[in-house]
Amino acid sequence: MTTGKHISQEQMLHNFRWQEKTIRLQFAQCLIQSLKFPTLKEREETISDVYRGTFRWLFDETNGSRPWTSFVQWLQHSSGIYWINGKAASGKSTLMRFICSHNTTKELLQQWSAPLPLVMAKFYFWNSGTIEQRSQHGLLRALLAEILGHLPDLLPVCFPTRWARIYNDLVKPFAEASYNNQPTEMDHWGINELEAAMRILISQDMQSFKLCLFVDGLDEYEGQPSTIAKYFIMLAQVPWLKICLSSRPLLEFDDSFGSRPSLRLQDLTRTDIDHFVKSTLQNNVNYQHLCVKQPVQASSLIGKIISRAGGVFLWVKLVLQEIERGLANRDTLQDLQERIEIIPLDLEELFSSMLDNIDPFYIKKSALIFLIVRAAHIRVRSVRTLDTFTLSFALDYWTSRAEDTTFNLQELQMRNIKIRDHLKVRCAGLLEIGPGYSPGFEYLGYRVVYLHRSVREYLERPEICSKLFKHVSEMDFEPYTPLMCSYVRELEFSEARKKILNGRSTLSLFMATVLHYAHEADTAGSDTYIEPLETFATLTHTSRLESTTWTPKKFSSFLHIAVNWDLCAYIKLSLNRLAPKIRASIVYILLPYALAATDEYYIQGMEQRENSEYLRDRIPPSPRIVQLLLVYRAQPNRKMKDFSAICEWTAFEIAIRNVCAILPRLDDRNDFSQQYSNEEKSSVGNHLEIVKVMLDYGADPNTYLNYGGRAIMPRKLLTETMRKHWRSKESDVDQMFEKKGGKLELSMIRKLMITG
């Protein structure tokens, strides 16, 4: 007979297992969610919808003489890579979106994967987007999030260290386990961990599923084309995985993929363009009248458009806009033929013609819009996409700064409609409105995007920027402060403030965006951003942040965030407001923040504190800030005893260790590997410059370091590191220390004292 006690123990075990399973599932969901980033779907949403009836040829197997490798056969039977290539604006991204969303794609792939289940994942590179949208880091986060969303049981396999560390901490007190306050480590993904996870994933003995990846816009990857090409070739060696890629036909991609299954898009879209042109014009009443009177000439007009297009959909779209303007003016077919003749075939010449045709009355305001949009799209880090709300208030900066700040949702909607119409009239069709925003953020209106990547490339050419700047030369134009002020205005809207301040990821992205613009304004030599920055700090309650395990107990300030974002003018003004004694203690506190590199091992002790996202969202450590703090008498040789995370290190030792921690990422190469981004290269250079600045301001070149279990001088440690990872800099580093009297070796007595 079972006793009550025995039943109770069984019930307890049952409850324990149920709770453990629940926590495991919730934790898996949180982990997958943290792999995603705010702009993950942005590029896909901005791609034009497929025009009805186009791209049907891709799945048509009846044409035996097709000039491309059968895509159907590749989906059904093959592994490896299929390369879709085409010249600029030929519709590659639209085709990739069509493929990913078409039911036939999945049906054919399931024939390949049977009897195993199919897993599909996609990513759209976008060089107008955030760093995640154009980097390997973002690629891996997106692909892993989608793949592991289908295969959550592989999470502990792909991320064993992270899973064990966080999961074990959470399952200890089941009753207290809460995912509303998930660990801050969840949000931070290093490139090494992501690469390792993908290697683990593709090295599995996969008898449970097959995988197909779709990756668009390889030419919009921020690194070297050959690097990303080699990466996909490496992935595609696995027989249970296949990859469909698209890009412009750059030489590196042609060398890598040219002998593989492929198609060249501009050679295959004549029928699609014919269908698009006819459908567009036949819906125009004035064109219908001309067809009745002159059917042969009307047909000839369509033929001329198609023959001149060269497979470039964007050119066709712009020409049709011009034709429709002519039809509205009651042009004859002869007039329309002449219009087509004078439209440049080259896209950049066409863009130039469109700019030149802007009404002179609007040209100054048009230049303002183009330059603000340009500033908003130069995104070296994660910032929010430009919207009509932000653009509207940024333009107000020069015209109505004293405007009443109270407004309601209806008034904001009217502003968004107004700026949408201004873009149509004043920007020659080179900018367009993207999708609207999700529920709760309708007040932002619409995304403001370039008509096409080629438009951005044209408008960002130095000679075009110079031409635009001439129209605003008398305004002392600087675009970043107005953009930043727009975000402050947003916080003055009560509904927006609630949404932003109550969402952790929303607030983090919002803060990163504001601080990014403040940094750009500061770098441009402006200090006008300081007043709105102080308002922003007050509205977001970050002007007085709580003490943490990283900061001394009495420290509470917005200054450490300003240090992380290289805001020299703001820091200088803030320090000058302080009494000398207080200022000395503050610069002592700020110096470690100026040196903090977000991926370095000594930062790990900082990750447990509150507000950690403000430190992760930052620019690389800045020599400007370090020098400023040293000017204000920060001491490079003083041990950071108040900072438990770094124990007894001096600021100078932190700077040395930063260089030694970052450089091994370059592997054993004589110079920078092409696989590293410009931002990473800049970061390493910044760390070396910081070492030099510290030496210039009195850092002891003959201090010793206990590094890797041995006592070693900074000069020897850095020259050894340079010799291994960045050989061309070895001599420069050696001379830098030699000029300051730096030695290569410790005396024997001192070495024994350290190691003994």
**What is the DSSP secondary structure assignment for residue 427, as one 8-state letter?**
S
pLDDT digits (tens, 9 = 90+) for 108-131: 999 999 999 999 999 999 988 888
Which residue in 403, 453, 443 sits closest to 419, CA to CA? 443
Residue 387: helix, strand or coil by DSSP?
A: strand
- Report how far residue 219's alpha carbon sits from residue 16's, in angstroms, rounded to the nearest whole number: 51
**What is the DSSP secondary structure assignment for residue 650, as one 8-state letter?**
B
What is the signed CA dihedral for 570, 575, 577, 580, rounded to 10 degrees?
Answer: -170
Cα–Cα distances in angstroms (integers) from residue 9 to residues 41, 521, 746, in the given order: 48, 65, 65
pLDDT digits (tens, 9 = 90+) for 482-501: 999 999 988 888 778 777 77
What is the signed CA dihedral for 683, 689, 694, 697, rounded to 10 degrees?
Answer: -140
Which residue in 47, 142, 56 sits closest to 92, CA to CA? 47
Q: Is the pTM of this model over 0.85?
A: no
Which residue in 662, 721, 659, 716 sits closest to 688, CA to CA? 659
Residue 732 φ/ψ, nearest 5 degrees: -60, -45
| Cα three-residue angle 192-162-214, rounded to 5 degrees | 55
Q: In which band, very low, low, confident or very high, does the pLDDT at 380 lie, cut at 50, 70 and 90? A: low
Distance between first and last Cα of the chain: 68
pLDDT digits (tens, 9 = 90+) for 36-72: 988 899 899 888 888 888 898 999 887 666 778 999 9
Residue 556, pLDDT score: 45
pLDDT digits (tens, 9 = 90+) for 411-461: 888 989 999 999 988 999 999 888 777 677 888 888 898 999 999 999 999
- Report how far residue 519's alpha carbon sits from residue 485's, in angstroms, rounded to the nearest whole number: 13
Which residue in 113, 143, 109 sits closest to 210, CA to CA? 113
- Report how far residue 277's alpha carbon sits from residue 714's, in angstroms, rounded to the nearest whole number: 69
**Token couple for 635:** 């001491």
Q: Where do the DSSP E strands lie in 300-365?
A: none
**What is the DSSP secondary structure assignment for residue 500, as one 8-state letter?**
H
- Report how far residue 533's alpha carbon sits from residue 539's, in angstroms, rounded to the nearest whole number: 10
Residue 671, pLDDT score: 41
- Report how far residue 532's alpha carbon sits from residue 3's, in angstroms, rounded to the nearest whole number: 71
pLDDT digits (tens, 9 = 90+) for 586-611: 998 888 888 875 333 333 333 333 34
- Report how far residue 426's alpha carbon sits from residue 716's, in angstroms, rounded to the nearest whole number: 61
The enclosing H or E element of 468 equals: helix 462-470
Which residue in 328, 305, 331, 329 sits closest to 318, CA to CA? 305
Q: What number of other Cβ atoms are within 10 A of residue 274's Cβ?
A: 16
Q: What number of other Cβ atoms are within 10 A of residue 461's Cβ?
A: 12
Cα–Cα distances in angstroms (integers) from residue 639 to residues 355, 558, 646, in the given order: 59, 24, 9
- Domains delineated in the chain: 13-266 (3.40.50), 270-343 (no CATH), 360-507 (no CATH), 546-551+590-755 (no CATH)
- Report how far residue 527's alpha carbon sits from residue 226's, in angstroms, rounded to the nearest whole number: 42
**Mean pLDDT, residues 30-35 taken together:** 90
Residue 27, pLDDT score: 81
The enclosing H or E element of 448 equals: strand 446-450
Which residue in 9, 35, 26, 4 sits closest to 505, CA to CA? 35
Residue 370, pLDDT score: 96
